[in-house]
Structure 1
C-alpha cells in the first residue's frame, strides 16, 4: 500500500511541476505578445483555490491534479468584445501565435537543462559499468568478469545506466559494436560485442542479459539463505554461511555456486566447500546429489542451498559531479544525449526496428517516480528531467490537438498566406484525437502487461 500511495503522490508532484512549467511558457510569451490570458489552471475540473490578478487573469488550482491549461481570449472559444479584439489570440500575427504555442515545449527543454544542472551540482550517483558474470556471446567475444566498460561505439561511458542505453540501441540495430574496456588487472583493451547474433524478435528490454552480460552490482553475495532439510548440506552448512570457494574455485557471487556444483556432480566424487561462518574459516567435504526443480521439473546436481530472499544493493561506486559553472555545459551535453536517444528510439519504432513495448504510460511513470524518489534527490531530478524532455518532444509531434499540430497549421498558414479552412482544421482535430487515443491505449496496455508479467 505504501508503494501505491508513494507512486500516486510522486506522479502528482512530477506532473504538477512539469505541466505548470509548460503552461507557464505559453502564459509568459502570450502576455509578451499582448494576448489576454483568461485563466491559468494547474489541474482540471472545479477550482479548489483561485485568485485574479490586476490584468484579469484567474490563477487556479483544480481538483484533478493530472495536467493543466492556459485559456486565452480567442474568437474560436466564444464572443469577444470589440474593445478586446486586439488582445485575442486568433487576431495576432502568425509568427506571434507560433511563438506562443512553441513556448510550452521550449519551457520544458529549459526545465530539463535546469534539472540536470541541479543534479550534477548535487552529484548523480550510479553504478559503474563493471561486469559481473559473463556468458554466451559476450564470453565468446572475450569479455570477462571485472571488465569495466569505458566506451561503446562512439560514446564514452561513465555509468551502468549509460552503458545499458548504448548497448540496447546497438542491439535493436543488430550491430556489432566496438567496446573499449579496462580489465580487472587495469589493462585497456578493445573488443567487439556481436549483437547481430541475437535472435530475431528478442526481448529488447533485456538485450544486455540476452547478450550474456550481467553487471557487478547485480551480484548476490554467496551467503546461504536456506539449507534444504534432508539435502546434502543439511547439518553441515548453515543459514548465514558465506561460501568462499567450491573445490578450490573462488566464489564471490551466489550464482557461481550452481555451475561449480553441477560440474562436480557430473564428474563424480566429493568436494571441499569453504565457508566463512561468523569470521571462522571452515572447509567441509560434501557430495552433490541429483535433485529436481519443483517448478520446472528438471533434474540437476545440487547441495540443497538457496540464496537469501531479499538483499540490498551495494553502495554506488560512480558519481558524476561538477561545480556550479562546470555543471552548465555538462547539463547541455546530457540534454543533447538524452534528446538524441529519445528521437532515435522514436525513429526505430516508426521503422519497426524497435518494439512498441518501449512505450510507457502513467502506471510506469508513477512507479518510476516512486522508485527514483526513494533513491534520492539526484535520481528524482534525473527522472524529472527525462520526463520534461519527453513532454517537450511529444508535444512537438505534428499531431493535431498537440502543440506540434497547431504549429503545423500555422506553418501552413505562413506558407500559403491564409489560415486553413475550418473544415480542414476540424478534420485534423478528429484525426489527432484518434491518434492520441490509440497511443494512450497502447501505453496503458504496455503498463498493464508489465504489471502482469
Structure 2
C-alpha cells in the first residue's frame, strides 16, 4: 500500500509540475502577444482552488490531476464585445498564434535542460558499464564481447554509465548493426560490431541488455545477513545482522539465490538454519511465512544479504560545476530528444513493437522509483518525461499543439485559414488516433501490472 501511495503521490507531483510548465509556455507568450487569458488551470473538473490576478485571469487547481489548459479569449467560442476584439486569440496575426501554440512544447524542452542542469549540479551516483557475464550464443557473444569489458561508446556516442548504454542500444533498434567500443581488463581499447538485425524484445519480460546477452557486473552477494524485517520469521527465530547462513535443514547453502529459491518452496514449514555467529556455529529453527503472489503462495523468511564491496573506481558521481553543467545538460537533452524522435519513427515503421508504449501506470511507477532514489534521479525522470511531452505535442495530429501548428502553417503559406469543416474532420480523426494510442498504452500498462 505504501508503494502504491508513494508512486501515486510522485506521479501527481511530477504531472503537476510538467503540466504547469507546458501551460505556462502558452500563457506567457499569449500575454506577450496581447491575448487575454480567461483561465489557467492545472487539472480538469471542478476547481478546489482559484485566484484572479489584476488582468482578470483566473488561476485554478482542479480535482482531476491528468492535465491542464489555458483558455484564451476567442471569438470562435466566446461572445466578445467590440472593445475587446483586439484581445481575442483568433484576431492575432498567424505568426503570433503559431508562437503561442509552439511555446508549450518549447518550454518543455527548456525545462528539461534546467532539470538536467540541476541534476548535474547536485550530482548523481552511477556505475561504470562493466560487463559481468555474457550469455552463450547471444548477440553479445557473437560480437565477442567478454566479461570484464567496459563499454566506452555505442554507435559513436559516449556511454559513461549503464543508463547511457541502454539508451544508445535502444536507439539502434531496427538497424542491422551498431558499433561498440570496449576497454578490456588489461586496458586495451578495441571496436566491434554488434549485429542486431531482427533484434527486438518484450519490455514486459526482459531488459534491452539481457535480450542482447549482456549481464552488468555486480558485486557478489554473500550469505551474510545485512537486514532483518520487523516481525518476520527470521526475527522470531533470533537471527541477527552479520550472521553467516551456512546450511538449511542440514544441506549446505551454495549461494543466496539458491537459499531464496528453496525458501520460496517451503511456505508454512519449519526449518533448521545453521549459521556462524562470532566464530561459533549455531542452529536455530524458523517457521517460513506465507506470502501471496500472482503465481500462488511463496515462502518468506524476511532477511536481506550483504554484497561484496564495489571495486575501486566502479562507482562514481556525475557532478559538474555551474559552467560545465550547462553543456552537459544541453547535450543530454538533445540526445534524449533525438532518441525519442527515432523511437516514434520506428513505432510507425514497425521496427519497434507497440508493446513498448507506456501509459500513466508505468509513468507513475517510474515517478515513484526515481523519487525514492533521491532528488537528482527525480529531476532526470522529469527531464525525460518533459522531452517526451514536448515531442508528442508537436506531432502534426489535430487536437495536439502540432496539429494546430500545421493548420496555421498552411494558413501562413496560403494566406487564408484552413476551412472550418476541414479542421473539424481533422479534430475528429486526431481524437480517434489519440484515443487509440492511449488505449494501447493503458492496455500495455495493465498487462505489465497483472503479469
TM-score bracket for this pair, using the shorter chain length: 0.7 to 0.9
2:430 aligned residue: 432
1:391 aligned residue: 389
Deviation readout 1:406-436 (Å, 9 max, x if unpaired): 1011011111111111111111111111011
2:154 aligned residue: 152
How far the C-alpha of 1:188 sits from its partner, in A, is 2.2
1:191 aligned residue: 192
Once residues 441 and 305 of structure 2 are traced to their aligned partners in structure 1, the CA distance between those partners, rounded to angstroms, is: 31
Does residue 1:339 correspond to 2:337, yes or no? yes
- Equivalent position SS for 1:223: strand
Contact 2:116–2:383 (8 Å) recurs in 1: yes
How far the C-alpha of 1:47 sits from its partner, in A, is 1.6
1:357 aligned residue: 355
How far the C-alpha of 1:392 sits from its partner, in A, is 0.6
1:401 aligned residue: 399
The 1:340/1:309 distance shift into structure 2, 3 A limit, reads farther
How far the C-alpha of 1:398 sits from its partner, in A, is 0.6
The 1:27/1:330 distance shift into structure 2, 3 A limit, reads same
The 1:415/1:281 distance shift into structure 2, 3 A limit, reads farther
Comparing 44-53 with 306-315, greater Cα deviation is found at: 306-315
Once residues 419 and 175 of structure 2 are traced to their aligned partners in structure 1, the CA distance between those partners, rounded to angstroms, is: 46
- Equivalent position SS for 2:207: helix
Contact 1:220–1:254 (8 Å) recurs in 2: no
- Equivalent position SS for 2:145: coil
Deviation readout 1:27-70 (Å, 9 max, x if unpaired): 11111111011111111111212121111111112122221111
Aligned pairs for 1:217-366 (under 5 A) are 217=218, 221-223=221-223, 235=250, 237=252, 317-366=315-364
2:448 aligned residue: 450
How far the C-alpha of 1:254 sits from its partner, in A, is 6.0
2:202 aligned residue: 203
- Equivalent position SS for 1:196: coil
- Equivalent position SS for 2:11: helix
Once residues 207 and 301 of structure 2 are traced to their aligned partners in structure 1, the CA distance between those partners, rounded to angstroms, is: 23
Contact 1:223–1:307 (8 Å) recurs in 2: no
Q: TM-score, normalised by structure 1?
A: 0.80
- Equivalent position SS for 1:324: coil
Contact 2:35–2:88 (8 Å) recurs in 1: yes
The 1:21/1:312 distance shift into structure 2, 3 A limit, reads farther
Comparing 307-316 with 320-329, greater Cα deviation is found at: 307-316
The 1:32/1:311 distance shift into structure 2, 3 A limit, reads farther
- Structure 1 unaligned segments of length 5 or more: list them: 227-231, 244-252, 259-275, 283-305
Once residues 59 and 211 of structure 2 are traced to their aligned partners in structure 1, the CA distance between those partners, rounded to angstroms, is: 52
Contact 2:30–2:100 (8 Å) recurs in 1: yes
Deviation readout 1:355-385 (Å, 9 max, x if unpaired): 1111110000001000000011111000000
Once residues 171 and 276 of structure 2 are traced to their aligned partners in structure 1, the CA distance between those partners, rounded to angstroms, is: 45
How far the C-alpha of 1:203 sits from its partner, in A, is 3.2
1:45 aligned residue: 45
- Structure 2 unaligned segments of length 5 or more: list them: 226-233, 235-246, 262-274, 282-299
Contact 1:109–1:388 (8 Å) recurs in 2: yes
1:298 aligned residue: none
2:163 aligned residue: 161
- Equivalent position SS for 2:395: coil
Q: TM-score, normalised by structure 2?
A: 0.80
Aligned pairs for 1:46-85 (under 5 A) are 46-85=46-85
- Equivalent position SS for 1:322: coil
Deviation readout 1:93-122 (Å, 9 max, x if unpaired): 101100111111111111010001000111
The 1:308/1:343 distance shift into structure 2, 3 A limit, reads farther
How far the C-alpha of 1:224 sits from its partner, in A, is 8.0
